[in-house]
Structure 1
């Protein structure tokens, strides 16, 4: 039998033939007493992928980096490399505390993977960390070729990559850093139709190409007002013409590029209309637009003709904080980068996908979570970087695991239903590995003529917790943990700079 407290283990009483008292021992005492035997049994049933013995070839690559990782960081790299290369697993997770150098470990891992034939690495990062990734990559691997995909020219760079796929490889490692916001941004569109007047003063929607009146699924004619309320793009059933068109929201005053750049600069702290006009007069709209789109650091460090900085240190700090969350765009729209990669680049074009701040992609219906899943499906291997893998509930992990460990999840029966919905699989995962509470409520209803009535309602809510079976199946085999204290005295006393 089980006692009510989880920290105690109670063994059942012996039978009448063996008179003995029940053994009551705390869980902590049990682990202290039998921990070594439990660990030996665990190692026999599940041999570790990495047992502290470094691979000489991979260690040689790490020692050749311009910035070498600390010993604890190098062990994490060796462990993840063994998981992805030796065990041929689909993905790995680095769960490390803040300040342990997750960026450095991911770059070192990419270098090790490059030595094994993994040419291209795609990095998904928050927009304000894109240039931090670029800087650290070039400081660690100076001869690397780094592409920043964080502006309206992202599609142009992807088109250039597609054209270069057949070129002779020169041996240089390539990194593609994609901003998390830009990754999910697509084009803007609106419905397009032709209005035809009908009897009774009604206005019906018609195809702008063939002129055929539009109908719903039941064959009823659709009015213009009803068609304007639709939220999905559709095509004409007769000629297959698109019933939508591209649009540019928030058209600037006069529509000129100069006014667009002017209004964009006025969104930045410390820059008003007068100063923005002066900057445009001194540097030109094209020069300023190119910096705002691709490298905000250069804009913050602008210098005048005498070599003096335009903005003071205090202004630069305010601008840097604000511009981390501002997205500039001066084009006519965009094509979602993940959609282009899915449609027009071959599978395995990106050998390694590095997902920074991986816990941000755990939600079921988020656009960036679905976009990350598309990139993970196209890449050969995936590495997730996070400091908080789980938020306390089992469904925090379900969609994240399904996007990076799709094969393992499908093997265990978690897959979409006939309608393509993942909701039943998520509930099944919660019942298998999480905690669900079924709350039964019984109420006495109003009396009937011959009997009393009762009303019973049942509702299911989730509760915090993740079972040991789920940890053993989905977390421990793919995750390397690192704490700040594991690095020891190698961390600068002043913190991270």
Structure 2
């Protein structure tokens, strides 16, 4: 906190990144920092976070700062709340003596808006001479720009009348060809629903756990539509603390029921109005410049993509703030380009001062490549082929291409990371945390299956090499993904088809039936049974959950051994998962099976001190986040993480490359990590699948 405040207040830095390991309490540190920061800069504080954490942020702000006021911009009345806030600013009635927090979900902040054509009409009066020499005057109305007054013209330079504009041009946003101002405007969509307020309220109440139609109707009769609507719209947490009018001094809900409702309220939205504008665009257009003092961006690494709408909306909100405090546990995923767009969005002035500016087309592509050349790793691939023979000479053709590779130079860390970053590691807390260990289980395939895999690999690599020779790269991803997956899904027959021609490439037979576990599955089962004996719950991560589902099969094997198993799938909404898992823990499950993508952020899985990766996937962000879900402040048990793979297969190469990328990622956090994947550590210079493909092609040159 001291270093963050010193950087903001003394050194006037645009942004300071709080790079804290998962579980270090970044949320509480940022809230406490914001409370002190408010004494020096009494402007409102803006918080951008994942949608399922909006109300968790609200709860933690109020529990940390007693006199704070929190406005949640997460419902369909988002613009209405922003309008109220804007009115308070313009009327100078905003109370700056207490910290004012505005919390918005990152999906909500970039949601679109309703628009309609906006133009003016210009009339042209003319006189037409008829065949009988009679002159007739008439007036024509044409579309014109309401800013400069110039006529709107089509591609043939013709004026466009109202009827033609409505028929041909009104479905797309049009712009003036002279001044470039829009010929459209945002507008508010009125509530056209037929339901009255009472019916809407009853429908909402029935979405809450333990409240049926009869109870909802009774509550409306007891408290009234206006009172309940006001509570839910303005401060939904007052709802769980309602007093029962029939039982003086007693709460309407029991403690257990209130906790269930509170979790549900964190994921539901309710309002009698519709959201019609993009909140970030609304703030940009209608709020005073630099209206907010501090912007806190939770899970900031998720705004790194160059063209993402969320990243662009985050940049708009950061530009409306004096200073920015991004929070992240994984600052980069191995490539220097991961950092470029994030740094540009949180501190554009500094990046411009370093020579990274948009070009004349307002694109950052050139600047990004320059950043990669300075601080990242770029590989220039030069291919020389024999050219056609001429009468007196024979020429060669040379082609040069550039590829990104994992890596970030010490100079980049020294110039762009260290001066703007505060690091927090769980090890800094000493004895406050239990032990954390990572282990790799390398499992052997049966001899017949190993031989079949080798033959299959040889055949597919040969097909892929031939396709690459013909300039067809479409098989690279298909073949490498299949070789990674097949050893985990060898319990069914399948045919692998060419992605373009749809012709069959290989017919693959199965090696295990529905009643016989594969070696890695057996390893997982044995571990779960051993953990059960120690009263330790296990979470199993598997990335194959769709067409090649392995969850149902694994669940059956575990249940046959007497274990209580739950499967978390993607049909459980993001903001419902915390509640869903809590219910399953109350039901005393032994094992939770899920995809690591579903729980990588915002969830504290204290109940599961053992984590088993059936596969790791190829995303370092997901792997690092998911592996630390239960090792955080508050954990009482030692945490054990297991990574499994089949020996002498593509899976071992994948883990090797993931180990290298994690080392690059964590080097920007001030550490050289020692992880369970270190046994696979070796040099890597391209994306996971393409690097694997390159190595396999090299190994099979003699096919």
1:160 aligns with 2:87: yes
1:135 aligns with 2:77: no
* Superposed counterparts of 1:87-486, under 5 Å: 87-151=11-75, 152=77, 153-165=80-92, 171-190=97-116, 207=143, 215-216=153-154, 218-220=156-158, 226-227=168-169, 230=172, 232-234=173-175, 242-243=183-184, 246=187, 248=189, 252=193, 254=194, 256-257=196-197, 286=226, 289-290=229-230, 293-295=233-235, 297=237, 317=260, 324=266, 327-444=269-386, 455-486=397-428
Report the 3-state secondary structure (helix = DSSP H, G, I; strand = E; otherwise coil) of the residue aligned with 1:481: strand
The superposition leaves residues 445-485 of structure 1 with CA deviations (integer Å, 9 ceiling, x where unpaired) of: 67678876755443323221111111010001111111112
State the distance in 1 between where 2:229 and 2:320 align: 32
Report the 3-state secondary structure (helix = DSSP H, G, I; strand = E; otherwise coil) of the residue aligned with 1:385: strand
Name 1:10's counterpart in structure 2: none
Q: Is the 8 A contact 2:293 2:323 kept in 1?
A: yes
State the distance in 1 between where 2:16 and 2:114 align: 36
Q: Is the 8 A contact 2:189 2:276 kept in 1?
A: no
After TM superposition, the structure 1 stretch with the greater mean CA deviation from structure 2, 287-296 or 424-433, is 287-296
State the distance in 1 between where 2:340 and 2:182 align: 39
State the distance in 2 between where 1:237 and 1:274 align: 62
Q: Is the 8 A contact 1:127 1:324 kept in 2?
A: no
How far 1:84 moved relative to its partner? 1.7
How far 1:337 moved relative to its partner? 3.4
State the distance in 1 between where 2:397 and 2:258 align: 65
State the distance in 2 between where 1:144 and 1:224 align: 50
How far 1:356 moved relative to its partner? 1.9
Q: Is the 8 A contact 1:233 1:244 kept in 2?
A: no
The superposition leaves residues 39-64 of structure 1 with CA deviations (integer Å, 9 ceiling, x where unpaired) of: xxxxxxxxxxxxxxxxxxxxxxxxxx
* Superposed counterparts of 1:21-40, under 5 Å: none
Pair 1:278–1:398, CA change in 2 (3 A) = farther
Report the 3-state secondary structure (helix = DSSP H, G, I; strand = E; otherwise coil) of the residue aligned with 1:177: strand
Q: Is the 8 A contact 1:393 1:463 kept in 2?
A: yes
How far 1:283 moved relative to its partner? 6.0
State the distance in 1 between where 2:35 and 2:116 align: 45
Pair 1:246–1:469, CA change in 2 (3 A) = same
Query: Which has the bigger relative contact order, CA under 8 A and spacing at least 6?
Result: 1
How far 1:132 moved relative to its partner? 2.9
Pair 1:244–1:264, CA change in 2 (3 A) = farther
How far 1:208 moved relative to its partner? 10
The superposition leaves residues 134-160 of structure 1 with CA deviations (integer Å, 9 ceiling, x where unpaired) of: 333333332333333333132233223
Any unmatched runs of 5+ in structure 1? 1-76, 195-204
Any unmatched runs of 5+ in structure 2? 121-140, 436-605, 607-632, 636-703
Q: Is the 8 A contact 2:55 2:266 kept in 1?
A: no
Name 1:19's counterpart in structure 2: none
Q: Is the 8 A contact 1:193 1:206 kept in 2?
A: no
Report the 3-state secondary structure (helix = DSSP H, G, I; strand = E; otherwise coil) of the residue aligned with 1:216: coil
How far 1:228 moved relative to its partner? 5.1
Q: Is the 8 A contact 2:145 2:151 kept in 1?
A: no
Q: Is the 8 A contact 1:264 1:328 kept in 2?
A: yes
The superposition leaves residues 65-116 of structure 1 with CA deviations (integer Å, 9 ceiling, x where unpaired) of: xxxxxxxxxxxx1111222222222221111112211122112222332343
How far 1:292 moved relative to its partner? 5.1
State the distance in 1 between where 2:284 and 2:167 align: 35
How far 1:341 moved relative to its partner? 3.3
How far 1:434 moved relative to its partner? 1.1
How far 1:262 moved relative to its partner? 6.0
State the distance in 2 between where 1:119 and 1:325 align: 28
Name 2:6's counterpart in structure 1: 82
The superposition leaves residues 412-433 of structure 1 with CA deviations (integer Å, 9 ceiling, x where unpaired) of: 1001112211121111111111
Pair 1:314–1:337, CA change in 2 (3 A) = same
State the distance in 1 between where 2:102 and 2:267 align: 20
Name 2:456's counterpart in structure 1: none
Q: Is the 8 A contact 2:113 2:186 kept in 1?
A: no
State the distance in 1 between where 2:219 and 2:395 align: 78
Size of the alignment, in residue pairs?
405
Report the 3-state secondary structure (helix = DSSP H, G, I; strand = E; otherwise coil) of the residue aligned with 1:82: helix
Pair 1:135–1:263, CA change in 2 (3 A) = closer
After TM superposition, the structure 1 stretch with the greater mean CA deviation from structure 2, 123-132 or 392-401, is 123-132
After TM superposition, the structure 1 stretch with the greater mean CA deviation from structure 2, 305-314 or 464-473, is 305-314
Q: Is the 8 A contact 1:190 1:247 kept in 2?
A: no
State the distance in 2 between where 1:135 and 1:469 align: 41
The superposition leaves residues 284-318 of structure 1 with CA deviations (integer Å, 9 ceiling, x where unpaired) of: 6555555554555556777865667669958965x
Q: Is the 8 A contact 1:342 1:378 kept in 2?
A: yes
How far 1:364 moved relative to its partner? 2.0
The superposition leaves residues 2-51 of structure 1 with CA deviations (integer Å, 9 ceiling, x where unpaired) of: xxxxxxxxxxxxxxxxxxxxxxxxxxxxxxxxxxxxxxxxxxxxxxxxxx
State the distance in 2 between where 1:146 and 1:413 align: 39
Report the 3-state secondary structure (helix = DSSP H, G, I; strand = E; otherwise coil) of the residue aligned with 2:34: helix
Q: Is the 8 A contact 1:192 1:208 kept in 2?
A: no
Q: Is the 8 A contact 1:189 1:245 kept in 2?
A: yes
Report the 3-state secondary structure (helix = DSSP H, G, I; strand = E; otherwise coil) of the residue aligned with 2:344: helix
State the distance in 1 between where 2:185 and 2:291 align: 32
